[in-house]
Structure formats: C-alpha cells, structure tokens
A and B are shown apart, each in its own frame.
Chain A
Amino acid sequence: MRKGRYIARTMLFALAAVFAVGFLLPTVLTVTNSFMTQSEIDANYGMIFRDARGAGNRGYVADSVNLKIIPDRVSFSQYATALFRSPEYLLKFWNSVILVVPIVVGQVGVAAFASYSFSRYQGRLKNLLFFSYIILMLMPHQVTMVPNFLVAEWTGLLNTRWAIIFPGTFAPFSVFLLTKFMRRIPTSLIEAAKLDGANEWKVFTGICLPQCRSALYSIAILVFIDYWNMVELPIILLPDSEMQPMSVYLATINASEVGVAFAVAVVYMIPPLLLFLHGEEALVEGIAHSGSVKG
C-alpha cells in the first residue's frame, strides 16, 4: 500500500516535471540563443527569415531549421549591438518605461482611493457602479479600444503617449482587485481608530494602505506585466513608430536581425522577471484573490 502510493507520487511528479520543463523551454531557448553569434543564428534559423531579408549574401545557411539549445561559442556581440551600438533599441526600451510606469502608478493610485470608497461605503448607486466596473473589466480589448480611440481623437491626444496612459490609469482591474482586499480589513480596526479621533484620511493612510501593502504590490506587478507586453493598444492609439514601446518593436526586429532580437528580448524580460522573483508570493496571492467575480 505504502509503496504503491510512493510510486504513484513519483510518477505524478515526473509528469509535472516534464510539463514544467516544457513550459520553461521557450524562455530558456530565448536566453541561450541570445548568446550566439549572428552567423550561428543565421546558420540555424536562416531558413525562416530568408524571404524577409533576401537570400544569397549571407554565408552558410543550413537546409533545415535546427533548434539549438547550447551555443557553439558564447558571445556577447548581440548584447553589445542591442545596448551600445544602435540607439534605437535603448530608445524603444525607454518608450516602454515612460508608458508603463505612469500607468502602473496612476492605476494603482486611482484604485487605492476608489477601493477605499467601495469597501467602506455601500449603497445602491455604489453597487451599481461596482457592477459596471466588473462588466467593463470583462470587456475584451476590441470593445474598450473603440471608446479609447474616439476620446483620443476628439481631444487631439491620438498618437501621443497620453492616448494610452489615460485609459490605462482608469482601467477598472486594480479597483476590482483592491476592493476585494480592502473589504477583508476588519471594521473593528477602523472603528477603533475613529474612536481615537482619526479622520478619514488618517484611516486611509494609517490603516487601509499598510494593511493592503502586499496586495498593492501584487496588483502593481500584474498591471506592469500586462502593459509591459502590450501590442494592440500602441498599434491603434500610438501608430507613430518613434514612440512605440519595445513590445511592438520586437516584432519588427524579428524579421531583420534575429540574433539581436533574442538579446533585446532577454533584456526586456529582466524588469518583469526581477519583479516576479522578488514578489512571487505576493503575486500568487494577488492572482488567487482575483479568482472570483462574485462577492
């Protein structure tokens, strides 16, 4: 009996491990490939992009597409190109930062106030409003982008960064999630503070925000990851390629300089990866609490 259980568990573990490695593989490949030289990349993947670049003048190209995990020779030349030789990559990187950071700060900040209101005061109008936030949150991009686009056009913000930053700041996701966290703060804590003469602002800054610290962190990570990888919004709201973030630009590098694209992708992964490794527990908790639309 015991032994059978042990074997079953080992097999389950093996199954999970195989899946997990499969999940990690694309990421690992991206990283290892970023350390290959351009000629090694060309030799392995040249087939795919031959049409895009025109065949002929590019040395040896293998007849098949080889999936290579370990580079023949570790080289940092792709990183040198990505970081120092051509300024456009750094520019696109910076574009991402100045789009995403204001959205994260704005959305979490606005949500902190709104969630405080939703969690502290109930009322029929409030409930209706919260319900409409949920509906809005559940709408796909295709629906919400049209209002965003129209407002941007009317106000002349189209093709400026504000066309993305404003709608991002007021997107309802953070409000929804943070309200669920704030509702779990015991009312006795707030009542006690009120008896001690604390005003609303004191209750907010002294009790609510500290109690929700890990929630705020996990929401910030989720919002950051979401916008760091955005593609649809910039294509429509910010068509000027000069201002587009790296997440869109990466796709255009793919066709022309595959090797550099890997290095750029790895650099681009670093900020979300650091946030993830640092805040994984908070993040998992945050995701777990986003798990119910009801109550």
Chain B
Amino acid sequence: MLPLLRSSLHHSEAIDPTLAEWIRNEIDDLVGLEPSSIVAILGVVILAFPLWLGVAAIRRQRRAASEAAIRSAHEAHQPN
C-alpha cells in the first residue's frame, strides 16, 4: 500500500486499509451480526444526532417567537 493511502487520522485523509479490515473483523467477532443489521444500528446512531439537533433548534425558534410576542404585548400595555 502506498504511503498516502495510510491515514494519520489527524485530519481527514483515507483510513489505512489494514486498520479498516481489523475494525471489521473485531466488530464481526464482537457482535456476530449480518452486515445489514450493523448498517441499521450504525445508521440510527449517525442519524439520531442531526435529527435531535434539528428538532431542538426548531423548538428553540418557536420559544423565541413566543417570548418576542409576550415582550411586545407587555411593552404595548406599559404607559409612556
């Protein structure tokens, strides 16, 4: 394997194929599941964070709109 295909894992260059194969073997030994099952499990883990973050951000924006409306109403009722 030529040098630049080995990874330092310091930034984002390609993983060392030896390491990739080892990871695969270890996961196989550890869980003993079909590839499709592992894909499903890892897929859920990967997708969970952005979905949670998106929902949290939307809820925050709704709360902001609500707070702004309350503030506006409060200021409108205050005497000059």
Chain A partners chain B: no
